[in-house]
Amino acid sequence: MQVILFRHGKAVSKDVAGSDEARWLTEEGKRDVERVAKCLPKPTKIYSSPLRRAKETAEILSKVFGVEYEVLEELAPGKLNLETFSKIAKPGALYVGHNPDLEELLRSLGCIAELKASGAAVVSLAPAKLLALLNPQFCP
């Protein structure tokens, strides 16, 4: 089973937005999400954290792939771990979330990877293996 873990795009600071939950994507962040999306296989479904910057990322991905997205509370900061992910993992799906949760999930799967903003990890879950790591600077 293959899945894609996608870190939300670059967002404005908490000071600018007023709270962490309210942070929105910068123009650079929006461009980077689209750039990385074009380097990925088409997902079967997109799932997003409920935070604004993640939902904006999912909206861009949804347009690029022509695939609907759904918000999952399990992808909110501090909630995602291996046990939680094993309950929501679906073949071919893309999950938009946050660090450090995504990198810790990758470590739990035995994959060491740094996910920058708008970065994506394509992962095989059986057996666990990092198939591709795409950060914005690697995609045209």
- DSSP, residue by residue, 22-82: T--B-HHHHHHHHHHHTTSPPPS-EEE-SSHHHHHHHHHHHHHHT--EEE-GGGSTTT--H
Spell out the per-residue pLDDT of the chain, length 140, in tens. Answer: 899 999 999 999 999 999 999 999 999 999 999 999 999 999 999 999 999 999 999 999 999 999 999 999 999 999 999 999 999 999 999 999 999 999 999 999 999 889 999 999 999 998 899 999 999 988 88
Contact 97, 74 (CB under 8 A): no
User: Which pLDDT score is estimated for 46?
Assistant: 98
Residue ranges of domains in the chain: 2-138
User: Which pLDDT score is estimated for 71?
Assistant: 98
Tell me how far apart the alpha carbons of residues 91 and 129 are, in angstroms, rounded to a whole number: 14
* Bridge partners for 71 per DSSP: 48
Architecture of domain 2-138: 3-Layer(aba) Sandwich (3.40)
pTM: 0.96
What is the chain's length?
140
Tokens 């939680």 map to which residue? Answer: 84
Which of 126, 118, 61, 64 lies closest to 91, judged by CA?
A: 126
14-45 pLDDT, tens digit per residue, is: 999 999 999 999 999 999 999 999 999 999 99
